[in-house]
Structure 1
Amino acid sequence: MRSIHAAAPLALLLLSGCVVGPEHTPPEIALPAKFAEGSRTSNGDVSTVAWWTAFSDSRLNGYVDQGLAQNLNVLQALERINQAQAGVVQAGAGALPSLDLGAQAERSGTEDIGGPLSPTSTSAQTTVAGSLDASWFLDLFGLYKRSKQSALAQLDAAYASVDVARLTLLSQLVSAYIDVRYYQERIALARQNLSSRRETLDLTRLQLEAGAASRLDVVQSEGLVNSTLAELPNLETQFRRAAHRVATLLGVPASSLLPELQRGARQPVARFKVSAGVPADLIRNRPDIRAAERQLAAAVAEIGVAQAQLYPAISLGGSIRPSYTRIAGGSESGILSWSFGPGLSLPIFDGGALKANLSSAESSARESYLAWKETVLGAVEEVENALAAVARDARTVDALRNTVRSYEEALDLATASYRDGASSLLDVLDAQRQVSTAQANLAQAVQQMAQDFVALNVAVGGGYAYGAPTTTVVASAAAMPTK
């Protein structure tokens, strides 16, 4: 009697099972308290902040809404969630009892056709049989529990990957739109300069007719006009490429938006500043960091899967197989057979394959941790770089605006002096080149300032959840109950 009482807890322990392998804990990394050029104030959740509205461009706002709804990369990422959900079901199905039902019916017979004078005789029988097979794998060491933990972590990573796709879309779409407006500005400046240089050419020709200029002056002026004409085709090509990129990101044919974008608008300039928060905010706000952490959780769970394969596997199985046979003439018979019993599988010698599989899983988990750490440090670097650029872009733009004003005034003075015959054409041509270069530099600086604003908002993980329901993490591998 005592032996029965002593064995009962052991039997219950075996039936309840245990889970082998390490438990996943959130990884840690030492980060500075603030960015080098940032503040010590936390950002909080910036995933729903519509930072692109700082450009005050209604067309851009509409494109962002459209892109978040129908970008093909985002839609593909959503499909991967469906695949990951199916993976969770598949991973957990092995630990559940299985039941298979089968049935068959057969009609058979023989016929003796005899000789020419013999009567024909026949015999036939009908057989109906069925089968009911049941099996249940006793997950004593957590093989399927760890498999499901890994699948759930992969599902979490799939949700985070959707956010990564949305954040990437914001970066690419807004950047492409900024490029569209930049090339439009460059085209407008080139046409404006072309008009000014043609006026200078006409003036030089008049001066030649009056004997106040030489043929060399005319040729130099013509050369400047032609060099400006040569700039336009490349600028127009770059504009079209940027417009095609916007259309593709919106999931429409490349040329669909050309008529709309050709109507033109000013270069985007952000109307408010962005807060970078603190480095610790990135672990919560950056979806790529969350995805890397969930991949690490899945890799840790796979260690448990590999370790459980080293232990015995016990399964319960049984079957019931009834059959019924009826022979022509009224004879009938029925048989019912059944079986039930446990099965044991114990790995004894496999050439080291299972242990090698465990070593591979452990190495994969260490690699996943290093990948997570690299992702975090890369995010910090992106924010630091964007902060450094944003802090200095405005100074560059202001200086270039003053440069443009100075060179434009110099051009007016040189042109007036040339009309009066007090200076040479070379002074006018040099002033025109300086104005053209300064205007191009200013347009590029405004473009870069907008791009750096985009880069900083993307680097801190802002805006990807705009217009979308809040994503809830399905399950954490570390939170899975174990026995």
Structure 2
Amino acid sequence: MNFTRTLFPLSMLLLSGCVVGPDYQKPDAVLPAKFSESKATSGENVALNPWWEAFRDKRLNGLVHQGMAENLSVRQALERIEAAEANVVVAGAGGLPSIGASADASASGQDGSYLRRTSTTGASHSESKSISGGASVSWLLDFFGQYRRSKEAASASLDAAYDDVGVARLAYLSDLVSSYVNARYYQEALALNRKNLESRRETLKLTNEIKEAGAASSLDVLQTEGLVNQTLADLPALETGFHQAANHIATLLGVPAATITSSLTKGAAQPMPRYSTRTGVPADLIRNRPDIRAAERRLQAATAQIGVAEADLYPSIELGGSIGASRNFNAVTGSLSSWSFGPSLTLPIFSGGALQAQVKVARSEAEQQYLTWKSTVLNAVEEVENAQTALIRDGQTVAALRKVVNSYEQTLNLARESYRGGASTILDVLDAERNVASARLSLASAIRQLARDYVALNVAIGGGAEIGAATVASK
């Protein structure tokens, strides 16, 4: 008997160290040593890099910092952290003893009267009062690590929730800065079209003067007027584009649409990045990209869930006990107490294959999470490669278009002088007008694309994912 009492606690102690299911191993990804158009030099942690300051635009800087604590997507991601933290508590509570208590009191009685045949009235009365209470305790012994694996999964999911905030912050930065770039582009396009309009009105005035002198026809005047009216027709669409971009910026800042428009109405130069971006090497993305880290944490959570499912295949023992007391104030003895304590064993003998199927489901979900992680890594590498390639070549396009604009502006001046002298027709001037207008708008569009490529590249490497984290968390 003494041997059994000694062996049983010892066996329980040994079993308590057994945790079923695979232990998590960090996944490996075969990545190239460098990006195709950069040096094989590992970069620093870019999570705190305020890359948008390279535009040297104070208004943009103010909008970015204003929205860090107000963007609704970021705040939703922060709320999911609260839920994930609560899930960690829930998962850990399962392996702890559960204690409960109860109490009740009651009173009952009877009142009645009756009339005897002798007209003598009688009455009866009875009353009973009682009170009882009790406490119970139960503890499911986690011999095979079911609750430890559950807590491991919940903790990994919590880490993923924190990384999801970084993902939301990057999406916010990309959307806000790109929208600001669009707004300034539309303002620049409007300014260029108004400049073109002024130039074409001068050409129309010149054509009318030459017609009065008898050297131009009504057809020349009508063609010139058509170009003026076409320029006027292009203005409303550009104004619409500006207002839509400004309204979207307001939404990203968590304020009603159109509240930002007035502050952006005063135009500014198109944003142009003032320095290049160090992309590092592909392996840096695993450290810097919050979506990759979140995918890995979810892989860890899914791996832990395999252990939870496997634990259900094994017996479980629950220790339980209760104690109770009651008192009947009308009874002779007055009170009664009882207690019980002991283990209960549950054996999963037959479940129709459901438990084994749950293990297969958990393993399949873990494999899916691994594939998701791998896909996320490869997509991140592709995004960096694409953005870097576009940034380099769009920079070349901008440089070439500046020369094109300069050439066409000189051509327009020469065409006007030639038209005044009668050496060319109005068609030469109108063609030169069209070429200048088209080249100027192409340049503005190329500058916008260059800025957007710069945004895409910095977001692709995870730049700025943790800026404002302390400010947002304090809200």
Deviation at 1:332, TM superposition (A): 5.4
Does 2:305 correspond to 1:290? no
Deviation at 1:421, TM superposition (A): 1.5
On the 8 A contact 1:150/1:301 being kept in 2, the answer is yes
1:303-342 equivalences in 2 (<5 Å): 303-327=306-330, 331=332, 333-342=334-343
SS state at 2:160 partner: helix
* Alignment partner, residue 90 of structure 1: 90
On the 8 A contact 1:299/1:368 being kept in 2, the answer is yes
Taking the aligned partners of 1:62 and 1:183, their CA distance within structure 2 comes to 20
1:44-443 equivalences in 2 (<5 Å): 44-115=44-115, 117-327=120-330, 331=332, 333-443=334-444
Deviation at 1:205, TM superposition (A): 1.6
Superposition CA RMSD, Å: 1.7
Does 2:469 correspond to 1:445? no
SS state at 1:64 partner: helix
Taking the aligned partners of 1:431 and 1:157, their CA distance within structure 2 comes to 58
SS state at 2:283 partner: helix
Does 2:32 correspond to 1:32? yes
SS state at 1:469 partner: helix
On the 8 A contact 1:414/1:423 being kept in 2, the answer is yes
Does 2:26 correspond to 1:23? no
SS state at 2:121 partner: coil
Deviation at 1:469, TM superposition (A): 3.4
Q: Which amino acid in the other structure matches residue 186 of structure 1?
A: A
Taking the aligned partners of 1:170 and 1:71, their CA distance within structure 2 comes to 10
1:210-257, Cα deviation, whole Å (9 max, x unpaired): 211111101111111111111111111111111111111111111001
On the 8 A contact 1:147/1:302 being kept in 2, the answer is yes
Q: Which amino acid in the other structure matches residue 41 of structure 1?
A: T
* Alignment partner, residue 455 of structure 2: 454
Greater mean deviation of Cα atoms: 314-323 or 383-392: 383-392
Taking the aligned partners of 1:364 and 1:20, their CA distance within structure 2 comes to 17
On the 8 A contact 1:98/1:134 being kept in 2, the answer is yes
On the 8 A contact 1:41/1:277 being kept in 2, the answer is yes
On the 8 A contact 1:17/1:139 being kept in 2, the answer is no
* Alignment partner, residue 479 of structure 1: none
Deviation at 1:471, TM superposition (A): 12
Deviation at 1:468, TM superposition (A): 2.5
Unaligned 5+ residue runs, structure 2? none
On the 8 A contact 2:69/2:471 being kept in 1, the answer is no
SS state at 1:100 partner: strand
Unaligned 5+ residue runs, structure 1? 473-483
On the 8 A contact 2:106/2:130 being kept in 1, the answer is yes
Deviation at 1:121, TM superposition (A): 2.7
* Cα separation, partners in 2 of 1:470 and 1:212, compared to 1, 3 Å: closer
Deviation at 1:281, TM superposition (A): 0.6
State the percentage of identical aligned residues. Answer: 57
On the 8 A contact 2:69/2:472 being kept in 1, the answer is no
Q: Which amino acid in the other structure matches residue 106 of structure 2?
A: E
* Alignment partner, residue 41 of structure 1: 41
SS state at 1:113 partner: strand
The aligned length equals: 469
1:139-173, Cα deviation, whole Å (9 max, x unpaired): 11111111111100100000000011011111110
Taking the aligned partners of 1:238 and 1:316, their CA distance within structure 2 comes to 69
1:428-460, Cα deviation, whole Å (9 max, x unpaired): 000000001100110011011111111111111
SS state at 1:124 partner: strand
Name the TM-score, length of structure 1 as normaliser: 0.94
On the 8 A contact 1:159/1:471 being kept in 2, the answer is no
Deviation at 1:387, TM superposition (A): 1.2
* Cα separation, partners in 2 of 1:6 and 1:471, compared to 1, 3 Å: farther
Q: Which amino acid in the other structure matches residue 217 of structure 1?
A: D
Q: Which amino acid in the other structure matches residue 313 of structure 1?
A: S
Taking the aligned partners of 2:56 and 2:210, their CA distance within structure 1 comes to 48
Taking the aligned partners of 1:310 and 1:111, their CA distance within structure 2 comes to 60
SS state at 1:28 partner: coil
SS state at 1:103 partner: strand
SS state at 2:111 partner: strand
On the 8 A contact 2:68/2:472 being kept in 1, the answer is no
Deviation at 1:3, TM superposition (A): 7.0
Taking the aligned partners of 1:426 and 1:22, their CA distance within structure 2 comes to 79
Deviation at 1:93, TM superposition (A): 1.1
